[in-house]
Amino acid sequence: MSFLGRVFGGKKEEKGPTTAEAIMNLRETENMLLKKQEFLEKKIEHEISIAKANGTKNKRAAIQALKRKQRYSKQLMQIDGTLSTIEMQREALEGANTNTAVLQSMKDAAEALKKAHKHMDIDQVHEMMDDIGEQQDVAREISDAISNPVAFGQDIDEDDLEQELEKLEQEALDEELLRAGPSNTDISIPYDEPSEKIKSKVPSKSIRKEEEEQEMKDLEMWAT
């Protein structure tokens, strides 16, 4: 628009139709041409029937009917070509409309993604993931420490306990042997303390029990 036109309010340029409006207009034109095509086909059939009816009876009327039939056929061919052109144009517009919608959706998605990442920094994300990993390691160590039976004294060697138990049992056996000594103070009965060799041979409770019984029998024999 020129300067004078802008100053004095010249005629504004009309805005063209949108893609959707153009597609709708083409479809309406297609429907109109299809109806006209159907009308011409019926006219052609009618003229052919007139030509057949007159035939040799009225040759002039038959020829005129055939001429009209040729004109209708020519118009029908033109309509067929126009419909093909309109159909291709409509398909192109529909494809462009689809591409426009797809591109707009992709653009909106890109803008939304950009907005979502606006306050994010890749270095901060890596640091955050490192912190999460460290905290997970700490939590795992705490769980291991809590579930470790060492804190409750479960690391005692059972072999040491068995040796201590055998020692206590041997001491108890020695005390019983001492208590089972001669009851009569007037009679002096020699008594030999069990040697270290005998003390050390305590392989099991059953053997110790047999040894105790035998020793008790021997003491009873000494006492009588």
Q: Which of 116, 145, 173 is the last residue of a domain?
A: 116
Looking at residue 185, its pLDDT comes to 45
Percent of the chain whose predicted confidence (pLDDT) is above 90: 30
- Same domain, residue pair 100 and 50: yes
Query: Is the same domain home to 110 and 166?
Result: no
**DSSP-based three-state secondary structure for 65:** helix
DSSP per residue over 87-133, as a string? HHHHHHHHHHHHHHHHHHHHHHHHHHHHHHTTT--HHHHHHHHHHHH
Q: What's the DSSP call for residue 9?
A: T
pLDDT tens sequence across 123-161: 888 888 998 999 999 998 888 888 766 545 555 677 777
For the cut 50, the answer to whether the pLDDT of residue 4 exceeds it is: no
CB 33 within 8 A of CB 82: yes
The answer to whether position 123 is within a domain reads: no
Encode burial over 46-58: b for 16+ CB neighbours within 10 A, e otherwise.
Answer: ebeebbeebeeee
This prediction's pTM: 0.43
What is the structure's pLDDT at 87?
93
Residue 10 lies in a domain: no
> Looking at 97, 116, 135, which one is the last position of a domain?
116
pLDDT higher at 160 or 59: 59
Residues 112 and 41 in one domain: yes
Q: What is the pLDDT of residues 93-134, one digit of tens each?
A: 999 888 988 999 999 999 998 888 888 788 888 888 998 999
pLDDT at site 156: 65
Overall domain count for the chain: 2
In a domain, 196, yes or no: yes
pLDDT at 41: 94
The reported pLDDT for the residue numbered 3 is: 42
Residue 218 in contact with residue 211, Cβ under 8 Å? no
Range of the domain at 82: 16-116
| 203: three-class secondary structure by DSSP | coil
